[in-house]
Chain A
Amino acid sequence: MVSLARKNLLHDRLRFAITVSGVAFAVTLVLVQVGLFMGLLAKATTTIEHADADIWVTSRETPNVDFAHTFPETTVLRVRGLAGVERADNLIVQFMNIQLPSGAEEGCLVYALEDFHAWNLPWNVQGADVADLRRGRYILMDRSAERRFGPFAVGEHREILRRRFKIIGTTEGAASFTTAPIVFMDFANAQELLETLQNRTHYVLVKVAPGAVPEAVAAAIRRIAPYNDVHTQADWARRSRAYWVVSTGLGMNMGITVFLGVLVGIVVVAQTLYTSAVEHMKEFGTVKAIGGSNWDIYRILGEQALIAAVLGYGLGGLISLAMRPLMARLFLNVLVSPQFALAVFVGTLLMCLGAAMLSFRRVASIDPALVFRT
């Protein structure tokens, strides 16, 4: 079957290129903006998701993993005594000042545990065994700290709250939404640094025993720790993400960007298809004169919209992929899940078809007698 839709599109290459570019722009904007946002959000929960803890016990109303308040460290003893709890440990997550070789002070986020191995924290460790953190005033520093703190090497020393620590290894991928670099140290060392941390903890991490249901164990913990909040891992990650999306307005910002991107796409496609429909009025009149219906013409416009959607999505996707390494150099992660990519594809199809439909009314009004007019 002859595709008048495809042939008409390719006949006017410049307009075709403009249409596809408009769609590609919208797709790129949505994929990159949302991808950046998801990359940022991933930082908000990366430690939660990597830690091998099914349940997090927090102080009341802790909004996210970075902004915790302390509670008595003895809470962990009550938690360990519950059925369904395989193990439980205290975790400190505390902002502290670190002195740089230049003399400047910067903030870092300290994660402190007694047994890092048991909780898969940190992950991607290079140059050291996490068990060595207990042997002295030692720290592991995430590589991303170089961006804020400048270059550093294993074996160098840094002062944290005026105590000297040796960097015995590095980690990759540990990040906080606040962009404060993460430093790992032994639990006792962290408590020593701040008086407010004496006999206190920020979290109790809980590993549920095989066969036990995390929600049920969480409920049991709530009964014995009524002044704490108790979250499953998924729930805690969700809560931490929601804080940044809702409280900071980032979610609204992203929503507006997506909306504008879609609007641009619709306007460009609608404009070019409508102009094309008007310019091809006589052709469409001929289609009607030789026996075609409005639906024959709707199919032409619909097919053109789909072609623009598929090619525009492909181009936009390629541009987005090309931008990832560029963004990575700026320490920005563009995270696009296959599900989101599919959703954007479907959205692009709908956007273009919707734009095409704006021309339908114009087309329906075409009088086939038009073909007799010079």
Chain B
Amino acid sequence: MAAEPKVLEATDVVKVFEEGAQKVEVLRGVSLDVAPGEVVALEGPSGSGKTTLLSILGCILTPTAGRVRVAGETVDSSSAARLREVRRRSIGFVFQQYNLFPALTALENVEYALNVKGLRGLEAEKEATRALELVGLEDRLRFLPRDLSGGQKQRVAIARALAGRPQVLLADEPTANLDTAAGTQVLDLFRGLAKREDKGLVVVTHDPKVRAIADRVVGIRDGRLAA
């Protein structure tokens, strides 16, 4: 029986940062697979390498050693343009601080991300509207971020991550700035969307609520996945 294709694969990933004369090994041979529709929670204390791993999975940082495959394609980390192309095509990000553009409305925030990914005009507007409807913000399209609650802002961020239909979603502490109720709503939404749209979702978190929505919880300590 054929193995289920993975949407995200990291194999023996090592990351060493050079700070002056010092070398700091943040990741020490990490391997992680994520299947389509699978929700993986990545837990660990501060400094354990969670965000570094997420950055490498998201093709923002390149590994010192090891291999990353996204949507079946080995990532060529020698080329910044190739990394950018993978991010554009296959990865959606959700950040702890939402990172919305304050001058753009909810619709424009999602639409702009689509413009960056190469979709323009009416098509981009339609896709942005669809994404915002998926997260239940169809009545907040013209609102600026300053007029949205924390939970609503995070839902706009999720819509932005979904727009362009990437196969992988990466979330960095998505509930850290939300209250319990909003955080639970966001997580339920996230899981529902990942399942329905068949995305691989990796959530870096300290939040124990994430365990409830994850298919798998992976611990990371001192740059290694905990057994």
Residue numbers of A with Cβ under 8 A of B are 1-2, 4, 7-8, 10-11, 282-283, 285-293, 296, 368-369, 371-372, 374
State whether A372 and B55 are in contact (beta carbons under 8 Å apart), knowing that A2-B111, A7-B108, A291-B84 are contacts in the complex: yes
Shortest A354–chain B CB gap in Å is: 25
- Chain B residues near A283 (CB, 8 Å)? 99, 101
Among residues 105 to 145 in chain B, which have CB atoms less than 8 Å away from a CB atom of chain A?
108, 111-113, 115-117, 120-121, 124
A290-B93 in contact (CB<8A): yes
- Cβ contacts under 8 Å, B108 to chain A: 2, 7
Instruction: Report the minimum CB–CB distance from A360 to chain B (whole Å).
Output: 16
**Could you tell me if B99 and A291 are in contact, using CB atoms closer than 8 angstroms?**
no
Which residue, of B85, B97, B117, has the highest number of chain A Cβ atoms within 10 A? B97
Query: How distant is the Cα of A287 from the Cα of B101 in the complex, in angstroms?
Result: 10
Complex interface: chain A residues within 8 A of B160 (CB) = 290
25 residue pairs of the A-B complex, CB under 8 angstroms, read: A1-B120, A1-B121, A2-B111, A4-B104, A7-B108, A8-B101, A11-B102, A283-B99, A283-B101, A285-B99, A286-B95, A286-B99, A286-B101, A289-B58, A289-B87, A289-B99, A290-B87, A290-B92, A291-B85, A291-B88, A292-B116, A369-B61, A371-B60, A371-B95, A372-B96
Which residues in A have their C-beta under 8 angstroms from that of B115? 1-2
Q: Which residue of A7, A285, A287 is within 8 Å of B116 (Cβ)?
A: A287
12 A-B pairs besides A291-B84, A368-B60, A372-B95 with CB distance below 8 A are A2-B112, A4-B101, A7-B101, A11-B102, A286-B101, A287-B116, A289-B58, A291-B85, A293-B84, A369-B60, A372-B55, A372-B60
Which residues of chain B are within 8 angstroms of A8 by Cβ–Cβ distance? 101, 103
In-complex Cβ contact of A371 among B99, B101, B112, B120 (8 A): B99
Cα–Cα, bound, A2→B109 (Å): 9
Q: Nearest Cβ distance between residue B206 and chain A, in whole angstroms?
A: 13
Q: Is B43 an interface residue (CB 8 A)?
A: no
Within 8 A of A (CB), among B50-104: 51, 54-55, 58, 60-61, 81, 84-85, 87-89, 92-93, 95-97, 99, 101-104
Q: Are A372 and B87 in contact (CB under 8 A)?
A: no
